[in-house]
């Protein structure tokens, strides 16, 4: 407990059990220092820690017991690893003398989690606790962040030792903050100064590096248009004139097309995920590629670079900016407008301002964003709710888009939103979730009930596993195999948990219901009955080039 407090931990998300009980007994005496949130499932402890970390920039912390308690965290650990979320997961374990005996609730936690974590370590002696905890937090937060797992044997929890504070700030062979040479910085600036059609791809690395202001200075000095990955959203305000939208399969048309027309692609803190690149062999073949990233393993992994600047973008961006020639690239930037207008006319306007018919997901997201003055934190689950949320929510502040990117974990949204309310208690947290994803972790309504966590839950209910149904419509001849979904009475469920709720089916009631939700102190469930067979468009079909986007589903 003292080691956790020393690392700046103030909130723990967890679930007690036999092999972690001594830790919980110690926690009983530290409730003034550490606020423990009792979740209803260990997976939710990890997702809540993720939500906390993503919105606050601090290391999230989860505490669970051994065996199934530990294995229930695996999905969240894998999710945090691919999305670079700083987190420490403390798992109970059987006593050291019982290791390898198949004792009750013994699982090889280190073996299971090593491939999906930055570091996984088993504490076998009480005298190793302080060192292990400090090392875990240093690894989790430094360099490219990620999850760390501490497997805590029971004997190490019960042995007595004099506490001596430990501060780890160096590990031999671990270099979290590489520094590029002056020659590399100069070469990067030259590439940008020579470009006539540059395009910046903004990834989550900008947010993780707290480099939002450095990014803006970089873009504005050289007149560089930019577009964001899903996890990079909110690094640059939506309203910024150089912000050209979102990249990727369901991103905006203009930046995706311009990826294959630019002469210099400048990637900042992103990993060229397949949902961004589309078909790799046709991805920006005409462009030179300049890649800023803190992780050397990402360089040339998917896309061959012309030049890599390896380091923290909070330091590397200003170094390059200092050498840039002021520029505007007006003609190039203006060429985005006709493409954007095509998307507005064919997709955006019909999605957020429908003339008639049932409620649409896009218009619900749009109105919530408008009525929160674009200042709320967007949390999504995974699926159509995620894509509509990302596309039609607007961002005025950083760390405002919390979603499961690389792993695409259904069930992420509800517990992550709970964590976000503790990580940013001064902000409005709006969760957009589908009927499928909500039911994967619906037990966390119990956590919300107990904590009165002020999550504004906007349930977009279309009675389908919507994203899978869309793919079945597009690529499987409308054969809806096990995607229609029977749903419970969500208002009755909300009542059982003491959470105010309202169902909206008519467009004329939407704004009033949103205002009621926002004016309600504490949690709220806004159950929106939306069009059943709505599609997220535009879309780059799997295996297609990034600029081969469809504006509608072919019937």
**pLDDT tens per residue, range 367-389:** 999 999 999 999 999 999 999 99
Question: Would you say residue 555 has pLDDT above 70?
Answer: no
Question: Would you say residue 362 has pLDDT above 90?
Answer: yes
**Among 34, 7, 58, 5, CA closest to 167:** 7
pTM: 0.97
What are 120's two structure tokens? Answer: 């996984």
The sign of the torsion formed by the CA atoms of 326, 332, 338, 339 equals negative
In 434-534, which ranges are continuous DSSP H helix?
435-440, 445-451, 466-475, 490-496, 510-519
Diameter of the chain measured on Cα atoms: 71
The helix (H) or strand (E) run that includes residue 369 is helix 361-371
What are 508's two structure tokens? Answer: 């004329």
The pLDDT-based confidence of 553 (bands split at 50, 70, 90) is: confident
The pLDDT-based confidence of 295 (bands split at 50, 70, 90) is: very high
CB contact at 8 A, 211 and 313 = yes
CB contact at 8 A, 229 and 203 = yes
Q: At CB < 8 A and 24+ separation, what contacts does 438-443 make?
A: 438/381, 438/413, 438/414, 440/410, 440/411, 441/41, 441/43, 441/44, 441/47, 441/411, 441/412, 441/413, 441/414, 441/415, 442/414, 442/493, 443/40, 443/41, 443/44
For the residues 426-443, what does the mean pLDDT come to?
98
The confidence score (pLDDT) of residue 554 equals 75
**pLDDT tens per residue, range 201-239:** 999 999 999 999 999 999 999 999 999 999 999 999 999
Q: What percentage of the chain has pLDDT greater than the value 70?
A: 100
């Amino acid at each position: 407990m003292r080691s956790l407090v020393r690392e700046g931990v103030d909130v723990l998300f967890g679930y007690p059990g036999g092999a972690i009980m001594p830790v919980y007994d110690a926690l009983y005496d530290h409730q003034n220092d550490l606020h423990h949130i009792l979740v209803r499932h260990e997976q939710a402890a990890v997702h809540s820690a993720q939500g906390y970390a993503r919105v606050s920039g601090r290391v999230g912390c989860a505490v669970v017991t051994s065996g199934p308690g530990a294995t229930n965290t695996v999905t969240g650990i894998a999710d945090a690893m691919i999305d670079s979320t700083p987190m420490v997961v403390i798992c109970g374990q059987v006593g050291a003398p019982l290791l390898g005996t198949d004792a009750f609730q013994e699982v090889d936690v280190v073996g299971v989690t090593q491939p999906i974590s930055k570091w996984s370590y088993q504490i076998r002696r009480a005298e190793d606790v302080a060192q292990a905890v400090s090392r875990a937090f240093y690894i989790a937060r430094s360099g490219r962040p990620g999850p760390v797992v501490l497997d805590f044997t029971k004997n190490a929890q019960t042995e007595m030792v004099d506490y001596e504070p430990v501060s780890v700030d160096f590990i031999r062979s671990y270099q979290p903050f590489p520094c590029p040479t002056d020659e590399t910085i100069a070469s990067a600036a030259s590439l940008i100064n020579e470009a006539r059609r540059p395009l910046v791809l903004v990834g989550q690395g900008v947010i993780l590096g707290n480099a939002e202001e450095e990014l803006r200075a970089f873009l504005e000095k050289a007149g560089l248009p930019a577009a964001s990955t899903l996890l990079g959203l909110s690094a640059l305000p939506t309203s910024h004139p150089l912000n050209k939208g979102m990249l990727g399969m369901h991103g905006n048309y203009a930046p995706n097309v311009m990826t294959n027309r630019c002469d210099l692609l400048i990637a900042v803190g992103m990993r060229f995920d397949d949902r961004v690149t589309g078909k790799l062999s046709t991805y920006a073949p005409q462009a030179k590629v300049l890649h800023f990233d803190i992780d050397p393993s990402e360089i040339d992994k998917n896309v061959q670079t012309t030049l890599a600047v390896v380091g923290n973008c909070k330091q590397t961006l200003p170094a390059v900016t200092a050498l840039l020639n002021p520029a505007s690239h007006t003609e190039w930037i203006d060429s985005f407008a006709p493409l954007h207008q095509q998307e507005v006319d064919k997709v955006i306007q019909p999605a957020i301002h429908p003339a008639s018919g049932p409620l649409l997901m896009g218009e619900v997201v749009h109105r919530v964003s408008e009525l929160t003055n674009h200042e709320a934190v967007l949390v999504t689950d995974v699926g159509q709710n995620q894509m509509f949320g990302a596309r039609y929510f607007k961002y005025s502040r950083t760390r405002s888009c919390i979603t499961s990117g690389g792993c695409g974990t259904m069930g992420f949204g509800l517990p992550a939103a709970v964590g976000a309310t503790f990580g940013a208690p001064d902000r409005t947290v709006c969760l957009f979730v589908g009927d499928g994803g909500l039911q994967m972790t619906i037990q966390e309504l119990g956590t919300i009930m107990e904590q009165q966590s002020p999550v504004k839950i906007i349930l977009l209910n279309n009675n389908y596993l919507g994203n899978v149904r869309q793919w079945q419509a597009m690529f499987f001849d409308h054969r809806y195999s096990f995607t229609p979904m029977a749903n419970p009475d969500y208002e009755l469920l909300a009542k059982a948990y003491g959470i105010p709720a309202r169902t909206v089916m008519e467009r004329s009631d939407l704004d009033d219901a949103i205002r009621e939700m926002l004016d309600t102190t504490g949690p709220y469930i806004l159950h929106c009955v939306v069009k059943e067979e709505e599609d997220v468009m535009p879309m780059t079909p799997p295996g297609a080039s990034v600029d081969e986007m469809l504006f509608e589903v072919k019937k």
